[in-house]
Amino acid sequence: MNKIRKQREAVAAVKEYGGWVFYDWQFVDGRLVKGPQPPGPKWLRKLLGEEYFQEIAEVSLVRDPFAPNSFQPINNAKADNLLLQLADLTNLKGVLLTGSQATDQGLKCLSQMENLENIVTVEATEVTDVGVFYLEKLSKLRDLHISYSNLTDAAIASIAKHPKLEQILVRGNRLTDAGLTHLKDLECLQVLDLADTGLTDVGLEELRLLAKLRIVCVGDTKVTEAGVQRLKAAMPHLRVIE
């Protein structure tokens, strides 16, 4: 009963903020889809309440993800207090934030969600290395998107402690070649976005050790065409987006 009450309160808080809540039954093979119906008879859901039959899987504090303007922020208010409330939802798998909603303190709240797999923040956040350090205990993390923030190579060293990571999108941060040396043991990594960073051909060579890497973004970096061609020759399966 306490769990159901906390979920009901969290749903109300997210909707009051202007965000969206997505439930476990809305996902098929890990992807959010339109069309599925909630479990249980409609009359029973109405009698007992929806929260008895479903569990929150993801929370978005931006607009409807199916709308054309889905990544425009609802407002610029800090979301730390709301994230603190969401910390009670230990089975939450995904959180989508935007702009100044994402702070180090907010990520500290997320660190309590032991089943979290996806953290997406949409550009221009206030997150620093400290916020990333808080996430180290999240052993199930698969996708991490923190672009145009204040991350340095120290954050990459921390991110590399998540062995199940499949996607790392950190474009627009203060990263150098030195940070990439920490990624060599990420055996599951498939997508890496390093655009608009201090990456050079030297750092590009470090990627050869990532056997499952399929896509790497290197636009607006110091990488040369010669460096890209050398990497492609060594990893013919790799798509390099310049």
- Mean pLDDT, rounded, for 87-105: 82
Judge contact between 178 and 206, C-beta under 8 A: no
Judge contact between 165 and 141, C-beta under 8 A: yes
Query: What token pair was written down for 208?
Result: 């050869």
How confident is the model at residue 75, as a pLDDT? 47
Whether residue 67 is predicted with pLDDT greater than 60 in this model: the reply is no
Whether residue 101 is predicted with pLDDT greater than 80 in this model: the reply is no
Query: Which domains can be identified in the chain, with CATH numbers?
Result: 1-115 (no CATH), 151-242 (3.80.10.10)
Among candidates 169, 160, 215, 178, which has minimal Cα distance to 196?
A: 169
Share of the chain above pLDDT 90, in %: 51
How confident is the model at residue 98, as a pLDDT? 74
What are 217's strand-pairing partners? Answer: 193, 241
For the chain, the average pLDDT equals 87
Q: Please give the angle made by the CA atoms of 58, 61 and 65, to the nearest 5 degrees.
A: 70
DSSP-H helix ranges across 18-164: 42-48, 80-86, 104-110, 129-134, 153-159
Which strand (E) or helix (H) includes residue 112? none
How does pLDDT run across 146-195, given as a tens digit for each residue?
A: 999 999 999 999 999 999 999 999 999 999 999 999 999 999 999 999 99
Full-model pTM: 0.86
* Listed range (7-16, 67-76, 149-158, 177-186) with the worst mean pLDDT: 67-76
How confident is the model at residue 1, as a pLDDT? 61
How does pLDDT run across 128-148, given as a tens digit for each residue?
A: 999 999 999 999 999 999 999
- Check the CA dihedral 190-196-200-203 and report its sign: negative
Judge contact between 240 and 210, C-beta under 8 A: no
Whether residue 74 is predicted with pLDDT greater than 80 in this model: the reply is no
Residue type, 127: V
